[in-house]
Homo-oligomer: A and B are copies of this chain.
Amino acid sequence: MSTPTRVPPRGDRRAGIVAAALELFADKGYLATTMDDIGRAVAMRGPSLYKHVASKQDLLVEIMERSIATVLRDHRIAVESTDDVREQLRRAVEAHVRFHARHRLEAFVGTRELRHLDEANRAVMLSLRKDYESGFRELVERGVAQGRFRVGSVKLAVYSILDMGVGVAVWFREGGEFSVDEVAYHYGDQALRLLGAD
């Protein structure tokens, strides 16, 4: 049997381009990155590059949409995994921390380059980010209503818990002092303390 010559399918090619764009956006910033830079990184010239992606904006949108879809899915899984609001909150924080430890560049670009999305794209992205935040707010409100949490301000508690996790993307290093699990467990505990959980 002859082995057919391996031609990378379209999807693979595009994934490679997105990965290269992510590195460049993280390193130089979206504005300072050109389609030529991205082409050079994947050894493709303009015309063939444009067969796979329409524009730099499309690449930014794809990076951000994939990230928010991932955290929204992981949040839903955490919340659906139990009926106990304390455990739901703990697992949601762990999922949040795991994402930020494992997708550092996506987290960095996702926050820094929001302003460089076209208006319509930005509106969609802000709305999805709001949904994510609302998920945490509903958990904390439910915990307060059930007498399980005690907080000074639900909104500020949620901002704090989310920002603690976002910070992980800045300092975390694979193979460093802490494993992803360790950070996730500690941050889950810290969030529950911050919420005055029973």
Chain A residues near B (Cβ < 8 Å): 27-29, 31-32, 111-112, 115, 152-153, 155-157, 159-160, 162-164, 166-168, 170-171, 177-178, 183, 186-187, 189-190, 193-194, 196
Given contacts A31-B28, A31-B29, A112-B112, contact A156 B178 (CB under 8 A): yes
Q: Across the interface, do A156 and B31 meet the contact criterion of CB distance under 8 Å? A: no
Beyond the given pairs A29-B31, A163-B164, 20 more chain A to chain B contacts, judged by CB atoms under 8 angstroms and listed by A's residue number, are: A27-B115, A29-B29, A111-B170, A152-B189, A153-B178, A159-B167, A160-B164, A160-B167, A160-B187, A162-B167, A163-B163, A163-B166, A163-B167, A164-B164, A167-B167, A190-B194, A193-B193, A193-B194, A193-B196, A194-B194
B residues near A167, Cβ cutoff 8 Å: 159-160, 162-164, 166-167
Q: How far is the CB of A155 from chain B (nearest CB, A)?
A: 8
B residues near A193, Cβ cutoff 8 Å: 193-194, 196
Q: How many copies of this protein are present in the complex? A: 2
Nearest to A28 among chain B residues (CB) is: B31
Given contacts A29-B32, A32-B29, A167-B163, contact A156 B196 (CB under 8 A): no
B residues near A115, Cβ cutoff 8 Å: 27
> Which of A115, A164, A170, A196 has the most chain B CB atoms closer than 10 A to its own CB?
A164
A-B contact pairs, 29 of them (CB 8 A): A28-B31, A29-B29, A29-B31, A29-B32, A31-B31, A31-B32, A111-B170, A112-B112, A152-B189, A153-B178, A155-B177, A156-B178, A156-B183, A156-B186, A156-B187, A156-B190, A157-B190, A159-B164, A160-B167, A162-B167, A163-B163, A163-B166, A163-B168, A163-B170, A164-B164, A164-B167, A166-B167, A167-B167, A190-B194
